[in-house]
Amino acid sequence: MVNDIVPGLLEAIQNEFKLTTDHDATLKKLLLRLYDKNVTYVDAQAYAVKIGEILSNVLEKNVQSSQLPDGRMYYNIAERILNPTLKENYKLVSDYGETVQTILNENAGVHLKAQVPKVNQDRINGLINRISSEESFNDIKWIIDKPVVTFSQSVIDDMIEANAEFHHKSGLKPTITRTLHGRACKWCRSLAGTYTYPNVPADVYRRHDNCTCTVEYDPGTGRHQNVWTKQWN
């Protein structure tokens, strides 16, 4: 009889993920900023990156080729591990992002509810299909590294897009600003800049693995927030 490794493996991953996120100093500092109501989407992106990095590290530590049947991450194993863990990732990041958007709305005098996009199941399915497509897990284990962090960041990108669209339909003139960080590639440089909604490039919210660009949002009330000082003018 073949032993089902998933229940024990999933429990170990979830327990370590919760323990690590509960005690991470960076996450604690970012959560404290919510209480001060002095945050931007830069904080939300930092939170998303840290959550993604923790999940990636936990997956890499707990999922080993020697544990897997034939050294392969079969679809039924990948689906039962990545689906719940990535959805928990989404929940934590979207909750933080929703609070940030609510604070931004209040500070800018926008009396609208923060919009929270649904989890992007297609992205999750893409990771599951890709990791289960190779015969050797060692040949594809990179998929639980940077792509997991990128998935986490995309939750905030989707939230910015959803709120910009909602505010535009509500009569505001929101702007989207994509800022480069580090040694940006040619594609990212082509997207950098500030755009008034809805005249926004279709790819402005997209990112590749290892992308450190930040995408920020101004609701369009005439009040602008300095990203670094967090002050409104």
Start-to-end Cα distance in the chain? 67
- What was the pLDDT predicted at 230? 55
Residue spans of the chain under pLDDT 50: 1, 225, 227
The angle subtended at Cα 32 by Cα 104 and Cα 88, nearest 5°, is 80
- What was the pLDDT predicted at 39? 87
Cβ atoms within 10 A of the Cβ of 192, count?
13
Residues, the chain, total? Answer: 233
- What was the pLDDT predicted at 2? 59
H/E stretch holding 11 reads: helix 6-23
User: Residue 139 is encoded by which pair of tokens?
Assistant: 């040949």
pLDDT digits (tens, 9 = 90+) for 101-133: 999 888 878 888 999 999 999 999 999 999 999
pLDDT digits (tens, 9 = 90+) for 211-227: 878 777 777 655 554 54
- Provide Rg for the chain, Cα atoms: 19
Q: Is 134 exposed, middle or buried (0-12, 13-18, 19+ CB in 10 A)?
A: middle
Q: 118: which DSSP letter?
A: P
- Decide if 86 contacts 24 (C-beta within 8 A): no
List all residues 6 or more positions away from 191 whose beta carbon is below 8 Å from its beta carbon. 178, 201, 203, 204, 213
pTM, 2 dp? 0.82
- What was the pLDDT predicted at 37? 87
- What was the pLDDT predicted at 1? 43
